Amino acid sequence: MKNKITLFIKNLNHKQNLLLIYKLLYDMAFILLFLFSCLTITEGFLPNFLSSHLNVTSLILSLLIVLVAIGKLGEKLDLHYSIISIRKKKSIPFLVVLIILLLGSSILKFPLWENLLIISGMLYLLFIFYRIILRAEH
């Protein structure tokens, strides 16, 4: 089995090697994003449960390095993707509710009027970002 894999890799040309590296980096980015989202959700519901044991900075830096490598390799390979319309996504309301719940649970120690002010400001920013994205689609 090992000989078949090494023979397969030796038979690849330079562009195919770069495409293979690009695909592996893409998969690594997906795994890192999934881990980061799970960590964020866990931290939202159980504060300091994981962050006291894990270094979140290393996860964020590794994710940033992988995303930059994907971008640079994609430019070198001349890969382009079409923009996905945000209107077709049915998960947006779920994500907004999740953001509000995580934000609300993280600011429970503040007084009620500060909580309302922070959440309304966050909703306003989400609305502005949504409008910017919709304007960019047209």
| pLDDT tens profile 52-87 | 777 777 888 898 899 889 888 888 888 877 666 666
Provide the mean pLDDT of the chain.
78
For residues 60 and 82, give the distance between their C-alpha atoms in angstroms, rounded to a whole number: 26
Query: Which two three-digit tokens encode residue 119?
Result: 């959440």
Quick one: which H or E segment has residue 12?
none
Question: pTM for the full model?
Answer: 0.59
Query: Which two three-digit tokens encode residue 55?
Result: 């270094």
Sign of CA pseudo-dihedral 95, 99, 104, 105: positive
Quote the pLDDT of residue 65. 92
Return the number of other C-beta atoms located less than 10 Å from residue 9's C-beta.
11
67: burial class by Cβ within 10 Å (0-12, 13-18, 19+)?
A: middle
Query: Which two three-digit tokens encode residue 122?
Result: 């966050």
Query: Which two three-digit tokens encode residue 54?
Result: 């894990």
